[in-house]
A and B are shown apart, each in its own frame.
Chain A
Amino acid sequence: MSIMAAPGVKIGLEIHCQLTSLKTKLFCGCSSDYRDREPNTLVCPVCLGIPGALPVVNGKAVECAVMAALALNCGVSGRMFFFRKNYFYPDMPKNFQISQYDRAGGVPLAVNGYLHIEVGKKRKKIQISRVHLEEDPGKLVHLGSIDQSPYTLVDYNRAGIALLEVVTEPDLRSPREARVFLQRLRSILEHLGVFDGGLEGAMRCDANISLAGGTRVEVKNISSFKEVERALSFEIMRQKDLVEKGLAVERETRHWDEARRLTITLRTKEEEQDYRYFPEPDLVPIVITRDFVESARAKMPELPEARMKRFVEEYGLPGYDAGVLVGEKALADFFEDCVKLYHEPKEVSNWMMSDLLRCLYENNLELPESKITPAHLVEMIRLIEEGVISGKIGKRVLPEMVLTGRRPHRIVEERGLVKITSRKMLEETVERVFAENPKAVEDALMDEKTVHFLVGQLMKATGGKADPQLANQIILERLKEVMKKKQGK
């Protein structure tokens, strides 16, 4: 969905990413594997907020968060503590969230970072104001949509899951930039190994949007990349509409309704939350030494920027291609796995960037959701190299591999897609084609450039299986014969 130009759009994002690599929740030992579980089966006194229970910090979460902060080029704080963010809501077991704050004596985990994104040909720096840790609330389940249910059911399995909050400055200028930013962030966190963006609900965000120096509106409940462009586009249009009518844009918090695809008022300025932040007395401060930071830095795996450079240097890929491949860790990994089996990086890259990506897009799949494996793609490319099938056939086999995971060999055999290389067979078919298309033959005799029509007809007659080079050759030979005959007459 494209957005018409709106003057001076400023978008800032507040992104919550679950640290999905952790085995347990942030403050207790309950398993973090909450998806598709029976409700309220992964809770304990701590994450359920039972009276008397106390939180204890998951050390690995701090490590992951510091690595993420470094990957985002932030300055990591030397000493920080957790704060309570106090508000009532049924998904909150304690009616306060243990989080971090950057005022009232509070210091978040990391500040002043940045990320580069590429939009079209432009490279842009997006500033990150802070990164910190906090806990996820539980989940509300409604019968029907949010404003129609008689009551709400609550499942606290997700309560207490570790979240990394990343807050940007309002440097983004369009919904597209926002989506690109999120994809970049996802790729970085996936390369770090702390996050799996394929898990449902693992990344959620809120956005702050204003137009040309106007009032800032907060939009909450954006649950995925796809939704972010839609939600932001809607909101920009809504604000633009108001401005054009001469009406005021209210400073407020709105909720993105995914089903109805619109934002609705959640809270007005009068009802603005007063979170009454104060330091969490039950948790002692965290001191991050320089040694800890350096050892975290040393442990950091290869990040997308570095990987992209390596793809260019090591595999000779064009910068653009390398950029697309590292845009998603799964793609980059798939690429390198293929190249390990078949040392033609450009060939692999071409197939991935064009047909594979297109096929995934058309079927609304992410690569890990599809059934194709690196071994199979390589096998298919080899079949083409060996002349068993043509490139064109390859393009037909690929989608089936993606959707069913069957080996290309099998597909080719069963569908009889082997390239026809038998001269005799092709010559027979050429005779037929020539007989059926006398005018085309005449045209071709006069202008060789129009021979492609005949080639096309031959391909059609052979179900695309004719070896294109041989087909071309035979047709040209035949045309010469016809010419000779004519001349001989």
Chain B
Amino acid sequence: MPSLWELTARETVEKIKTGETTAEECVLSIFERIRQVEGRVHAFVTLMEKEALEKARAVDEKVSKGKPLGKLAGVAVAVKDNICIRGTRTTCSSQMLENFVPPYDATVVEKIKGEDAVIIGKTNMDEFAMGSSTETSHFGPTHNPWNPSTVPGGSSGGSGAAVAAGEAVLALGSDTGGSIRCPASYCSVVGLKPTYGLVSRYGLIAYANSLEQIGPFAKSVYDCALFLDVIAGHDSRDNTSVKVPLKDHTEFLKEDVEGLKVGVPKEFFGEGVSEEVEKCVWNVVYQLEELGAFRGEVSLPSLEYALPAYYVIAMSEASSNLARYDGLRYGYRIGRDEKDWSTVYSKNRRVGFGDEVRRRIILGTYALSAGYYNKYYLKALKVRTLIRRDFEAAFKKFDVLVGPTMPIPPFKIGEKIQDPLALYMCDIDTVPANLAGLPAVSVPCGLLGVLPVGMQIIAPPFREDLILQVGYAFEQSTTYKDRRPPLG
């Protein structure tokens, strides 16, 4: 008999609706689980037990009064700590915002509250979302529940680990260069980056605004589809938010992929990809063929340049997005203002930001500066156009493209952190989807010992239905979703 914390979102909502359990019981079970494992996992920066129980009781009252319930009634949701929640500190895992309390809710938070979800806490991340391992957090790293000496991936490592460890039923993350898909892959959960513009960014503390989206983490593809539908939708407060007819993505989930054309880009299996990962992912491709898909190889030559282009763009935008952190209106400020404003700002930012953040800001500033703008930033944007064109051409022949999410399995904490470039290389297969603004999902597809491997599925813009369909069909044909990390 599974504990309440082990239920999926779908199951939780059903059981609450039928009265088999209550929202309060579910949330108490979650916090019990958190007490059990959080010491080892460290997925959270802030726990919101009081607020969560209040909300759970409110949901239960609705049930008792026969009022209509939201789609996520009683479901415990963890929120990445770069998404603003009014009245709760939102830190971006940085000393700079250690005590920052937003005066407003992000649009996605308004939406999930509106659907009766229970927000249980803010999850750990790489500082300001800059990283692929959640090791740059000012509050210490998150540990991969499958093997706590390894990284959970990043930058939404806390969200991925929380769902994997049963500390949350669903979680929100953000993905700028792979920051949802990477932890999903490393923690063996489902993580989806929506098409750019599908989910409002209002309330997402920006790192690289032309690249990032908020997206769902879930234990199953169904849950992921359900959660996506809650957070998707046009927002007039976000100028880059699109008006598209909203789909019910759960309706597209079938157990076969009959007739679907699956492309396998050869560039996804480049030099840095380990043999074991490659083998694992190819097994998936064969499996999809068994399920009725057509497979074909394809080449997107410009993908070779995706990683450097991504970093130039991301760092440039970041250097500007993070300029506001000067300790004047909010944020870290040194004790005494003995000097002029320029010096005080420089000192505030020296202490408030960790090494990786400072490195990226300086690089980004350099890439935009007079004399270098054309060489770096503008050039990277042109490479971006080539990448979009390559995808467009590939999607004329294939419905979806697949490959590994990460080139290597989860590595040890501390192994790569001293070598920034080595860490950047981990993003090699995830950044192209951000550059082109395409929807992409990572679904669990294997275990190397206890170390999870994830498969990435990419589709044309606003075709989340395709990636979820493929993900679902594969998921239903394996048992990975039922595996649990050995946490006890």
Residues of A within 8 A of B (CB): 45, 48-57, 84, 86, 88-90, 93-96, 104-105, 151-152, 154, 156, 274, 276-278, 281-284
Contacts and interface: CB of A to CB of B under 8 A. Distances in A.
Given A104-B378, A281-B317, A93 B236 contact: no
B342 A88 contact: yes
B237 A51 contact: no
Interface stretch (B44-52, B199-207, B271-279): B199-207
Contact of B329 (A56, A57, A93, A96): A93
B328 A86 contact: no
B328 to A, nearest CB: 6
Contact of A45 (B90, B104, B209, B377): B104
Contacts of B29: none
B202 A51 contact: no
Given A50-B102, A53-B202, 13 more contacts: A52-B102, A52-B206, A56-B237, A86-B319, A86-B323, A93-B329, A94-B323, A105-B378, A278-B320, A278-B368, A278-B377, A281-B240, A281-B317
A125 B377 CA distance: 40
Contacts of B84: 51-52
A90 B328 contact: yes
B202 A84 contact: no
A366 to B, nearest CB: 36
Contacts of A96: 320, 323
B341 A90 contact: yes
A396 to B, nearest CB: 56
Contacts of A274: 369-370
Contacts of B320: 84, 86, 96, 276, 278
A84 B321 CA distance: 10
15 contacts: A45-B104, A50-B104, A51-B90, A51-B205, A52-B84, A52-B202, A54-B202, A54-B238, A56-B236, A274-B369, A276-B373, A278-B320, A278-B373, A281-B317, A282-B239
Contacts of A53: 104, 202-203
B156 interface: no
Interface of B: 83-84, 90, 92, 97, 100, 102-104, 106, 201-206, 209-210, 236-240, 316-317, 319-320, 323-324, 326, 328-330, 337, 341-342, 345, 365, 368-370, 373-374, 377-378
A175 B475 CA distance: 77
B239 A56 contact: yes
A46 B104 CA distance: 11
B202 to A, nearest CB: 5
Nearest to B106: A52
Name the 7 nearest CB pairs between A and B, nearest first: A95-B323, A276-B368, A281-B210, A51-B205, A281-B209, A52-B203, A52-B84
Nearest to B202: A54
B329 A49 contact: yes
A283 B201 CA distance: 12
Given A53-B202, A276-B320, A278-B368, A48 B329 contact: yes
B66 to A, nearest CB: 37
Given A86-B320, A96-B323, A284-B239, A154 B365 contact: no
Nearest to B364: A276
B239 A283 contact: yes
A326 to B, nearest CB: 40
Nearest to A49: B324
A50 B206 contact: no
Given A49-B329, A96-B320, A281-B317, A55 B202 contact: no
Interface of B: prevailing SS: loop
B324 A95 contact: yes
A88 B326 contact: yes
A286 to B, nearest CB: 11
A283 B103 CA distance: 23
Given A52-B204, A282-B239, A154 B328 contact: yes
A49 B368 CA distance: 21
A448 to B, nearest CB: 79
Contacts of A86: 319-320, 323, 368
Contacts of A52: 83-84, 102, 104, 106, 202-206
A481 to B, nearest CB: 87
B242 to A, nearest CB: 10
A41 to B, nearest CB: 14
Contact of B102 (A51, A94, A156): A51
A386 to B, nearest CB: 63
Contacts of A277: 368, 373
A90 B323 CA distance: 12
Contacts of B368: 86, 276-278
Nearest to B365: A276
Contacts of A45: 102-104
A156 B329 CA distance: 10
Contacts of B369: 274, 276
B363 to A, nearest CB: 13
A88 B345 contact: yes
Contacts of B206: 51-52
A89 B100 CA distance: 21
A104 B316 CA distance: 15
A234 B71 CA distance: 70
Contacts of A278: 316-317, 320, 368, 373, 377
Contacts of B342: 88
Nearest to A88: B345
B103 to A, nearest CB: 7
A151 B341 CA distance: 9
Nearest to A273: B370
A225 B84 CA distance: 45
Contacts of A151: 337
A95 B240 CA distance: 22
Given A56-B236, A56-B239, A152-B341, A50 B328 contact: no
Contacts of B100: 51
A24 B326 CA distance: 27
Nearest to A45: B104
Among A45, A48, A51, the one with the most B-chain Cβ atoms within 10 Å of its Cβ is A51
A324 B373 CA distance: 49
A84 B206 CA distance: 15
Contacts of A152: 341
Nearest to B128: A51
A281 B197 CA distance: 12
A54 B323 CA distance: 15
A356 B337 CA distance: 54
Given A45-B103, A104-B373, A94 B324 contact: yes
Interface centre among A86, A90, A278, A283 (most CB of B within 10 A): A278
A72 to B, nearest CB: 28
Nearest to A89: B341
